[in-house]
Structure 1
Amino acid sequence: MTDVESTEERSAGALSGIRVVDLSQIAAGPYATSLLGDFGADVIKVEPPSGDPLRQIDNAFGEGESAYSFSVNRSKRSVRIDVKSPDGRAVLDRLLAEADVFVISMRPAAARRLGLNYESVSERFPRLVYCSITGYGEDGPLVDRPGMDLLAQARGGTMGTTGEPGRTPVKVAPAIADFLGSYLACNGILLALRVRDRDGIGQKVGVNLLDGQVSLLPNLSVAYHRTGVPFRPQGGAQSNIVPYQVFETSDGWVVVACLIQKFWVTLCRAVERPDLVEDPRFSTNADRVRNRGELVPVLAALFAEHPTSHWMKILEAGDVPCSPVNALEDVFVDPQVVHNGMTLVLTHPRHGEVVTVNNPIHLGSTPAQPRGYPPDAGEHTDEVLAEYGYDTDQIRTLRAGGAVL
């Protein structure tokens, strides 16, 4: 478990000196910028006067203080700006003039109406890396439709390939479309910054949730286009590898993953069924796939005889790829997760400890250093505006006119 308050001295992060103006909302954009902030980027979250709508999703920390919002908004500062007002837009433009990265998550038509589309922004700020995160892309038949995690999972094939055979399609519980979008946005932003370092000019980074989900299908796609046989949900199994699935034990579940022939042999030895290796029905993976209906019940009956801990001890000793199926509460006490330091503790001035997940990217010399806590909406408005040259009277005037809050 990593406590951000335990680090008294912080070295310069990999992205120290990079300024990010984050106009995105909900999950994909805010999580992307938090990850950048973990590595030292100065991230300024620009919220509308009412705050990011994600703040209202639940009341885990109080009204307008959702756990969801807390989970994706560390390592940044928050300002509230009415970018639809002339004075508010002028403030945003001053931020952009000194920024390296601008992140936005509006539908393209809305961005154009506000003059925040790439063409308008890049004309004034050509060195700016402009990252647009949308549901479906910058054009096409769905360009004006609202996009979100569930819709991307549904349209992009994730739900259609997940779940039990013949049952209702299943949503992946973690917001996989949003958070994959976060990582793709980070990757694109870093690539664009590298090109700017080389060529001296910014560019547009386009990420959409739908493409992210489709990009998860390479193995299923190639097989389908080669054979013409579409993949269908297999529950906890894999259609073209056997055994590569979850089995019920006497007290839970265990996953066995015989990806290559070597592991099929070690599995049979570990469970004391060497006869299965010699059985011609199960000699190769192709044989096992063809005779899945005969093999899987044999293994299922075997694993049902003992608890998960029994099988984990035996399988691990035999070098068989295996895992328990961790419930959420099990994940954070899993010995490897604990060892990897994937639990992060932030200290909030009102709520005390806020426990979340750590940054999963491990750099040797310039590691992630998550900092601060998820700020209140507009908590740093005065501080940030002062840094950008506004004096006390100017800030007071902007507040009085509703341009900033």
Structure 2
Amino acid sequence: MPSYFELVRHSGNGDLFRAVELSLSALAEGQTFHLHAEGLRGTGKTTIMRAVKDILPSIVRIKNCMYNCDPAKPHCPEHRYLTPQAIKEIGSETVPCPFLEISQSAKIGTVVGTIDLAKLTDKASPGASLLPGTIVQAHRGIIFVDEINRLADTSPELADVLLDVMGTKPGRIQIEETGMPTVELPLAVTVWAASNPDEDPGALAQVRRQLSDRFDVLVTMGRPNDYLAVHSILETREKGPLASAQASPAFTFPVGLEQVVISKEIRNVLATIYVDFSLESLRAVQAMEMAAALQALHAGKIQVTLDDVMQVVPLTLGHRADHGTVTNILKYLTHLNHPALHDTPPADDVLPAPVAFPKQTGSNAEKISWWRNLWESLRNKASTSPANQSQQKQASTGNGSSQSNGPGSSPAPQAMDPLQMTIHAPRAKATPLSKLPVDKFISEDENRG
């Protein structure tokens, strides 16, 4: 997984990055700032939140304290009643800031706390004591809950625990076990969560409104809509599993997976597929890239080609897109790979043209030049379109009584540059047809012979 600072920022995830950094700022100040991200599956919500583990600050706690007691403010049952001198004698240590997760299969005992079976069954000195759960061990850190809407639906008792932890700042939790004294603890735990509101059981606000209200911010995660962002996301994967993965020992290949080259042109095509065919999940193009590299490796090649991509599209998109979309993507790739097979170019709305764009690190001048070149190509295309050529031919021949170069002839129409056009506002507000008299918009030609 790329580090936090290597993740690509785009218009769809900018708000999540901002909310994450606000929450981290609060954490550095000893405060909690709860965050919930909603959005389409596969858009990178979980990736961004988990990547934060790389940049979390360290904390100082009482030595070997499983509750992460602050030496200046001890709160656990073992240290809360000790004097400062006694705590000083125990000592302190610096440990990574906690970042723990609650899974969909978690039990109430593992989340809150339960009897420590290791101490209970210790043959040398058996004794009953409590083992703090996940939330308790995340004091002064972060708890992450993926698909929290499902957790709230299937495990209401865990949702109740989160309500207690997030209800006040600091929150509180109570550990209860038969035959053991009840332990109540104050907790400063920042809760982050992610969910897919378009899937069952629906948005968290519909499943458990009280829990939804506990989050300080709700961020709606969007998909990237520009080619450059998708291309950059694919590039960052070179530093992740794609670069470090090794072929299975059951196979013998002339090169390793890390040596397979994926060109900029292939990534341009993948980015075009994602954006122009409206794929929801970024995992779709990431899976295509990985599968195409494996396909090339299996064929004994070191360069991924369009043929490799075409072979893996049905495998990687069959469960992510409808049959029509997959078919159109294959037509698009076939046209790119074998344009001579088509007598006429396919329709633009079915098969988009591949896009070439500057690297993300390019200067503003590079980007401006690219957009200018793109506009010039579109203008040239418009000026040479069949409709425009027909207008030019009609203007040049007239009605048969004049020539294009004759006196009084008008020049052939040219494609107008919108940047050079003067736009005039209408003289008066338009009147709806429903308010016009019939004779104003229906007329008869009385001179027809």
| TM-score, with structure 2 as normaliser | 0.23
| TM-score, with structure 1 as normaliser | 0.25
Structure with more contact order per residue of length (Cα contacts < 8 Å, sep ≥ 6): 1
